[in-house]
């Protein structure tokens, strides 16, 4: 159990930096707004690294890995996260209600709304996301790169390395909240 706690703390230390003055807005898009083939079931390997990628002492912080299962249907989005073979987080969104279950040792820095937001920023259509953003925020897309900005400031850059986007690797770099998330996905039957 101690090993699980240490792993979870290490996984999340990348995201536990001082909260920025401006946060990326939460998204609560309907599951039906997902434009991919549904139902969709993905097995994922998530790799989180803090930004900047090299600290002031010149040392690169280690990457933290987590396994996840993501299911998207017209009615629901479900995500389960696993560390050391144990389920540490489940998140479920039906378009009205966000519910979650957390391992008792999972640090409070893990925010279920941020998890849902990042999933939707990576996989939902640009137009659906743009329509849900508050004034001043803009999501643009050029080729295989999606960029979320506030005014002239880039908050998030997403790079896709596969088609369809959920069938391979995607990289989310959140410069506003100081982390990089690499998502390696495989469709499961």
pLDDT tens digits for range 18-68: 455 788 999 999 999 998 878 999 999 999 998 876 666 777 777 888 899
Dihedral in degrees, nearest 10, Cα atoms 99, 105, 110, 111: 30
Cα–Cα distance between 69 and 141 in angstroms, integer? 26
At residue 3, φ and ψ (nearest 5 deg) are: -60, -40
- CA-based R_g, the chain, Å: 16
pLDDT tens digits for range 73-122: 999 999 999 988 899 999 999 999 999 999 987 777 778 999 999 999 99
- H-state helical runs in the chain: 2-13, 112-123, 126-132
In a 13 Å sphere around the CA of 11, the CA atoms on its Cβ side amount to 25
Domain residue ranges in the chain: 2-187
Q: What pLDDT is recorded for position 19?
A: 52
Q: What pLDDT is recorded for position 173?
A: 97
């Amino acid at each position: 159990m101690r090993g699980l706690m240490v792993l979870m703390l290490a996984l999340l230390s990348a995201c536990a930096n001082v909260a920025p003055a401006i946060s990326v807005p939460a998204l609560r898009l309907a599951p039906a707004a997902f434009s991919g083939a549904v139902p969709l079931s993905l097995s994922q390997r998530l790799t989180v690294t803090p930004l900047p990628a090299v600290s002031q002492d010149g040392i690169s912080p280690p990457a933290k890995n987590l396994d996840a299962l993501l299911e998207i249907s017209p009615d629901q989005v479900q995500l389960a996260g696993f560390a050391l073979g144990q389920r540490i987080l489940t998140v479920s969104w039906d378009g009205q209600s966000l519910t979650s279950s957390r391992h008792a040792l999972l640090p409070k820095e893990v925010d279920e709304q941020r998890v849902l937001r990042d999933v939707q920023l990576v996989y939902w259509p640009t137009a659906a996301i743009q329509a849900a953003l508050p004034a001043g925020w803009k999501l643009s897309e050029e080729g295989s790169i999606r960029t979320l900005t506030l005014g002239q400031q880039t908050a998030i850059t997403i790079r896709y390395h596969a088609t369809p986007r959920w069938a391979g690797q995607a990289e989310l770099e959140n410069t506003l909240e100081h982390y990089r998330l690499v998502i390696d996905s495989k469709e499961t039957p």
